[in-house]
Chain A
């Protein structure tokens, strides 16, 4: 009896101790977030320290506190808010136009094989083409105003959205189409009950890609046709050698991208709630 129990080894995870202080448990729950913040703070800290110690040339690279000061200064200018408004407007109009045209067209092209044969050469051509290269042509057509930027945002996003959407419709599982047909679903119901939900993940991928392209469109459009917008702040700050202002404007674009992707993820999650999330998977 005792000999046997001596030969046995404990199989419980020794690291899995039951009693932890509340602080440790709180840390464990939020470990990812905390370490992420530590990573960001660490980098900014080094940058600031390097600048103060003279290791980083602030003439070119600025420093976090200077960027923060520039931000505080900038947001008090009425012109700044005008620029923000212009950029947001260009982005929203161009991106939304791309969504409302690319998603339905993508579904139609994916569904009607012959139509897609006709559309494919154009889709592939435009997808391979760096759409930014069309900017001078667009400016020639619609001028330096807000229209040229909306157009380049639209072109950037449209093809990024339509191509995965077509792909999604094309790859709808044959079994589900059989089920719908077997139960006598009308063409419209087939679309709503099978094609649309099966294509959601593909559309979501397209929207994420398109969002990035749309932001690029805003920046490059404004850098090229320097009228208003956050891109103009970058150009003007660059001309005046003000890296702190440039960093601030760049940060706003980055922030817009992050927020946009998160918002899309929410929407996607809503439409995809029938899919097991990673934690739920057995």
Chain B
């Protein structure tokens, strides 16, 4: 009964791999237990190499994990999950329309119907009028709007977002954060948002999961009680910066200053 309200249930997810040059076994993810209820926006932050993107790929089924169990539960008839990839993952040889309707076409939907069903999402992300453009003709922000629409078109229960704004300039990134919240509130999805940007994680999320440096595990799971809807000036409030300090202190302890040497390596 309790399980049906969860969009994601991860138990003991462990990821090991063998370093190709040193033949050494490395543990990327030590152990991940994570429950995400339907409709929640959860960010995963952590130092680079902590396995947060790896975790997303495991959830998406792109990578087989070494151990553990994952359950994703859909409510509707769409797939359980869809991935919004990092920058420049749009197919450069397809137009915006071709890219956004791709997931539907993969499901066997005819091109014409797929295009009709993709159109509302193109409108939702603010790309109306750009359906016939190729990715190289779009700015970085617009490319990521299309990337988001591509995942939304298959109507997944869970959106997996892998540092989608990492390559954008600071101003565009902030605009996209606000846009994402607007789209999220309309699309009613569960989101796992992986980022290394602390303010981005807090601004967007209901919960921020902080991961340790490799081997990755969950250090803290912080509820963000900042109310909604949120506007950018929230970032300058005392409550917001208090969260930032809290998360930063957790991550700071994980970072190894250059030259000091540490067993964490």
Q: Show the binding face of A for B, using Cβ within 8 Å.
A: 175-176, 178-186, 189, 193-194, 197-198, 273-276, 280
Chain A residues contacting B94 (CB-CB under 8 Å) are 193, 274
Whether, in the assembled complex, B136 has its beta carbon less than 8 Å from a beta carbon of chain A, the answer is yes
Chain B residues contacting A185 (CB-CB under 8 Å) are 106
**Contact of A274 with B102 at beta-carbon distance under 8 Å, contacts A194-B91, A197-B91 already known:** no
Asked whether B62 lies within 8 Å of A182 as measured between CB atoms, the reply is yes
Nearest chain B residue, comparing its CB with the CB of A182: B83
Nearest chain A residue, comparing its CB with the CB of B107: A184
Asked whether A186 lies within 8 Å of B92 as measured between CB atoms, the reply is no
Asked whether B102 lies within 8 Å of A183 as measured between CB atoms, the reply is yes
Asked whether A183 lies within 8 Å of B136 as measured between CB atoms, the reply is no
Asked whether B62 lies within 8 Å of A275 as measured between CB atoms, the reply is no
A186 is contacted by which of B89, B106, B135 (Cβ under 8 Å)? Answer: B106
Whether, in the assembled complex, B103 has its beta carbon less than 8 Å from a beta carbon of chain A, the answer is yes
Nearest chain A residue, comparing its CB with the CB of B95: A274
**Contact of A189 with B106 at beta-carbon distance under 8 Å, contacts A175-B85, A182-B82 already known:** yes
Whether, in the assembled complex, B141 has its beta carbon less than 8 Å from a beta carbon of chain A, the answer is no
Asked whether B154 lies within 8 Å of A193 as measured between CB atoms, the reply is no
Q: How far, in whole Å, are A280 and B136 apart by their CA atoms in the complex?
A: 10
Q: How far, in whole Å, are A100 and B61 apart by their CA atoms in the complex?
A: 36
Q: How far, in whole Å, are A274 and B88 apart by their CA atoms in the complex?
A: 14
A175 CB to closest chain B CB (Å) equals 5
Nearest chain A residue, comparing its CB with the CB of B88: A175
Chain B 82-101 near chain A by CB (<8 Å), digits 1 or 0:
11011011011111000000
Asked whether B92 lies within 8 Å of A183 as measured between CB atoms, the reply is no
Whether, in the assembled complex, B248 has its beta carbon less than 8 Å from a beta carbon of chain A, the answer is no
Chain A residues contacting B86 (CB-CB under 8 Å) are 175
A274 is contacted by which of B60, B85, B92 (Cβ under 8 Å)? Answer: B92
Asked whether B85 lies within 8 Å of A181 as measured between CB atoms, the reply is no
B20 CB to closest chain A CB (Å) equals 15
Q: Give the 5 A-B CB pairs with smallest separation, nearest first.
A: A197-B93, A183-B103, A274-B93, A185-B106, A276-B136
On chain B, the number of residues with a Cβ less than 8 Å from chain A's Cβ atoms is: 26
Asked whether B62 lies within 8 Å of A176 as measured between CB atoms, the reply is no
Chain A residues contacting B61 (CB-CB under 8 Å) are 181-182
A173 CB to closest chain B CB (Å) equals 9
6 contacts between A and B (CB under 8 A): A175-B85, A176-B91, A178-B57, A183-B102, A197-B91, A274-B94
Asked whether B136 lies within 8 Å of A178 as measured between CB atoms, the reply is no
Asked whether A274 lies within 8 Å of B136 as measured between CB atoms, the reply is yes
Beta-carbon contacts under 8 Å, B47-106 to A: 57, 60-62, 79, 82-83, 85-86, 88-89, 91-95, 102-103, 105-106
Q: A275-B92, A280-B136 are in contact. List 12 more A-B contacts (CB 8 A).
A: A175-B86, A175-B88, A176-B91, A180-B106, A182-B60, A183-B154, A189-B105, A193-B102, A194-B91, A197-B91, A274-B135, A276-B136
Q: How far, in whole Å, are A276 and B133 apart by their CA atoms in the complex?
A: 12
Whether, in the assembled complex, B130 has its beta carbon less than 8 Å from a beta carbon of chain A, the answer is no
Nearest chain B residue, comparing its CB with the CB of A194: B91
Q: How far, in whole Å, are A198 and B94 apart by their CA atoms in the complex?
A: 11
Whether, in the assembled complex, B184 has its beta carbon less than 8 Å from a beta carbon of chain A, the answer is no
Asked whether B154 lies within 8 Å of A175 as measured between CB atoms, the reply is no
Nearest chain A residue, comparing its CB with the CB of B105: A189
**Contact of A183 with B106 at beta-carbon distance under 8 Å, contacts A197-B91, A275-B136 already known:** yes
Chain B residues contacting A175 (CB-CB under 8 Å) are 85-86, 88-89
B85 is contacted by which of A178, A273, A276 (Cβ under 8 Å)? Answer: A178
Q: How far, in whole Å, are A198 and B91 apart by their CA atoms in the complex?
A: 9
Most buried by B among A175, A197, A274, A275: A274
A184 is contacted by which of B79, B134, B135 (Cβ under 8 Å)? Answer: B79
Chain B residues contacting A273 (CB-CB under 8 Å) are 134
Q: How far, in whole Å, are A212 and B82 apart by their CA atoms in the complex?
A: 47
Q: How far, in whole Å, are A117 and B57 apart by their CA atoms in the complex?
A: 30
Most buried by B among A178, A181, A276: A178
Chain B residues contacting A189 (CB-CB under 8 Å) are 105-106
Chain A residues contacting B92 (CB-CB under 8 Å) are 274-275
Asked whether B85 lies within 8 Å of A183 as measured between CB atoms, the reply is no
